[in-house]
Amino acid sequence: MLVDNAVEGDSRVQKAARSAADAGWHVTLLGCARTETERRWQLGDAEVRVLPLDAPRLLPADASDPRGEGTGEAGASGPPAGVRGPRGSGLRGRLVARGGLPLRVARLARRPLEHAQVRYWRARLGDRAWRRLEPGLWNYERVAGPVVDELRPDLVHAHDFRMLGVAARAVDRARARGHVVRLVWDAHEWLPGARPRRDNARWLPAHLGYVREYVGHADAVVTVSDTLADLLVRDHDLPARPTVVLNAPIAAPARVATAGPAARTALVAAEERPAGGPAPDLRARCGVAADTPLLVYSGAMAEQRGVDTVVEALPRLPGVHLALVVADPDAAYVRQVVARAARHGVVERVHVLPYVPHRQLVAFLATADVGLIPLHHWPNHEIALITKFFEYAHARLPIVVSDVRTMADTVRATGQGEVFRARDTADLARAVRAVLADPARYRAAYDGPNSPLPSWTWESQADRLDALYRDLLTPLP
């Protein structure tokens, strides 16, 4: 398996690797991260190797694939006259370097040049234009490509979009040596609807071209929702509909919907507890009593995630506390949220906590009263049931979610929570008050014959993945 991160914060990737190993596959999971040396550990029976990803090194304008795949533009040594590199040059570049222009102003100033670059290279190279627009993608090839070759796998499972090209080229090299290798692409998100991860005009068209170039190499596609599966079929004219593997958590067998916070923790922890000891207690870490109303937001922090709306709603919710479970409590945006809480006079009711291991997370969340998903409207927010949705559900938490389409429709259908208008502080406060007034009503959705939880487990999803692997690797008659 291949992934473009350090593995630890990616529960989908961890669960996929571990469950495949549990099913009898010999699994090596390769991550890429900014580390000085390679790191290795075991994830169950799966071997994890996180490879040191060098600092980004832009190739020269006439560079070719370092593993022998040229751009096909032997005579093209650079962009047309007047189109300069992404870091700026001339007077503007010198002003930025000396602090003469604010960074945001400089980025806006270079946008016309970046759009010109995109038009030029797409006209000249088509989907292969990413080689000039986003050459840093080669760093993943330099780091992971040789290791994949050494491992000689029978199947490569590429997670997300950056590793698709790495996997495709490795499979092609293996097949050229006479070794048949299957490729599974796991599409975690709809790339056309993604928020660009770098503030430049080249990022999205470059990555879209990168995916289009290599998606045809995949023997099978896996994704996270039915809606995204349909979009992938439409965008890439796939010959078969992707296999949907939900971002569901590992199952907890006990029914805890009607139990109090302490009992819910004890029951859920029976399955989630690792060998090293019990799962930590969310309320204890926040320092709040069992009868204190406690909201929890768990996951990545960014403006479009809507946590600001929650902070601004707290003055309307006297006595209610908020736990933020995040990857880096000291991150700049997290500090901004805490500062906003201070301006609203509620900072003593906001508790910032670090992630716990994903196998502990459901038990960790279970002592809260409400799970929050306050997303802004954004294309990728509309189409999936995200990981925290299932984690909250298995912790038997009522969910308060913004009116992003798929999750809002699900919550309305199951009765497991309340929906509010995205970015509407007053409506969020209304939804929270409704849940806190009768939490048992919402938790009842997790019990009985119509409970969605049995199908919302990683075990049921892992069976789908195992069946796909076996189908791909079964020799034809």
Domain holding 299: CATH number? 3.40.50.2000
Whole-angstrom Cα distance, residue 137 to residue 4?
10
Report yes or no on 56 lying in a domain. yes
Report yes or no on 75 lying in a domain. yes
> Same domain for 210 and 353?
no
pLDDT number for residue 197:
57
pLDDT number for residue 77:
33
Domain count of the fold of the chain: 2
Report yes or no on 224 lying in a domain. yes
pLDDT number for residue 477:
62
pLDDT number for residue 359:
83
pLDDT number for residue 277:
61
> Same domain for 100 and 63?
yes
What is the sign of the dihedral through the CA atoms of 261, 248, 447 and 253? negative
Report yes or no on 155 lying in a domain. yes
> Same domain for 337 and 435?
yes
> Same domain for 354 and 467?
no
Structure tokens at 404: 């992003």
> Same domain for 174 and 80?
yes
Residue type at 58 in one-letter notation = L
Whole-angstrom Cα distance, residue 186 to residue 303?
26
DSSP letters of 287-308? T--TTS-EEEEES---GGGTHH
Residue 234 burial (10 A CB sphere; 0-12, 13-18, 19+): exposed
Report yes or no on 255 lying in a domain. no
Report yes or no on 51 lying in a domain. yes
pLDDT number for residue 373:
98
Domain interval for residue 425:
261-456
Local mean pLDDT, 10-residue blocks, the chain (477 residues): 94 96 98 94 97 62 45 37 40 45 60 89 97 96 97 98 98 97 97 75 95 98 95 97 94 45 42 57 97 97 96 98 96 97 98 92 96 95 92 97 96 98 98 98 95 94 97 84
pLDDT number for residue 132:
96
pLDDT number for residue 442:
98
Task: With beta carbons less than 8 A apart as the criterion, state whether 405 and 382 touch.
Answer: yes
> Same domain for 170 and 59?
yes
Residue type at 259 in one-letter notation = A
The distance in angstroms from the start CA to the end CA of the chain is 28
* DSSP for residue 177: T
> Same domain for 269 and 144?
no
Tell me, letter by letter, the H, E, C secondary structure of 5-25. CCCCCCHHHHHHHHHHHHCCC
